[in-house]
Structures are given as structure tokens and as C-alpha cells.
Amino acid sequence: MLADRLPEDWKHELRTAISSPSFLELERFVAEERKSATVFPSEEDLFSAFRLTPYADVKVLLLGQDPYHGPGQAHGLAFSVQPGVPPPPSLVNMFKELESDLKVPRPKSGSLIPWAKQGVLLLNAVLTVRQAEPNSHAGHGWEDFTDAVIRAVSAKQEPVVFLLWGKYAQKKKKLIDAKRHVVMEGTHPSPLSASNGFFGSKPFSKVNEALEARGRPTVDWHLSA
């Protein structure tokens, strides 16, 4: 069962969502898909974001859409690829902006595990995908589950910074208590849109400024070379 792989803290926060008819149907769907097709990420990596970022530690939520659909890439963290794997185009653009914003050197590997361990929840709206078929698992129940995740993070008393890049992510703004938390909307870093507002937007320094202003620890955005 999918829910068995969730850490206990998240299981508690999402108890209503994981007992819903929508989630039970989703479990059946993903199980059938894994029997008949190659599905990413692996079962072991499915909830990596939740394992690496405990609920109590979340201070930033960066929302992606669905996992990378190439072999060896997806490992349960939005925008991130497995350690040692070269960064895909959107992530390359993120690293370009990070270098411009904070003079952080561009890493060769695209693993964002160090960010996750500091309280950056790297959440995709859809958590599985068929190989070579982007968005193939959209509309099968993951959105209900991840909407519940966003609501659960919004329910935290401590202020959280929500990064919503692109129109798809920005539709989730209605799930967030903007009076308690910081919502930063911006252009998606994909090659199709990065030049229309992502480059030069300085999201990484702005996140740290917002955290510092609210008495929360900042993020060290450096990654392994």
C-alpha cells in the first residue's frame, strides 16, 4: 500500500487524505501501472520528499508538476534528479539563476537532497509518471493527495515560504493561508519561459530574506560540485 511508505509524522497529518476513496483508487491505479509499464520514481523513492523533510521542519515549499520521465532521473523530489545525474534544462536554469542571485557555483549533479534536508519540501503535484509519457498519471488522484499536503503545510503555525513558479503551481495559491505565510509567485524555470521573468527574479535570496524577517533559519543553497 502506498500509504505504508509515508513517514509517521506525515501519515498523521494526512490521515484523512490517505483514507479517502480517492487515495484508495489511486493506490489501485499505481499498482496496476507498475505491473504493466515502467513507472518513475521507484516505490522506494516515491515519498523521498516526506522522508527527507519532516513535517515539523518544513519552512519552504517548492511546488513542481510531475516527475521526470527518463530513466535514472526521478527520485521523489520536485526538480531534483538522482545524485550524479546531470541536471535537466529547468534545473540548469535554476542553477544559472542561483549563481546570478547568490554567487553559488553551478553543481554538476542535479541532486537537491541538501535543500530537502534543510526544510525545503520539494513537492510535485503528481508523484508518479510512466516512462517517456509526461503527465501520464495526472488526473488519477495524486492532485487530491498533494492538495492535502499543501493544506497541511498551510496549517502550520510557523511561517512557511511557498514558491509557486508558473501558472500550474499558481493555481494552488487558494489552498494557502497568505496571511500567515509568504507566497512567492514567479515564472517557471523551463526553457520555454525562463527568459520571460525567471532570470533576474532572485528567488533564492528573497526566500532567505523572508525567512530571516520572520525569525526562521535561512537556507544554505550550496550544493555538491
Picking from 168, 28, 193, 214, the residue whose alpha carbon sits closest to that of residue 185 is: 168
Among residues 9, 66, 177, 220, the one annotated as catalytic is 66
Cell digits of residue 152: 497541511
List, in order, residues 6 or more apart from 30 with CB less than 8 Å away: 2, 39, 128, 137, 140
Q: Residue type for 137, please? A: H
Tell me if residue 147 is catalytic: no
List, in order, residues 6 or more apart from 146 with CB less than 8 Å away: 123, 124, 125, 126, 127
**What residues act catalytically?**
66
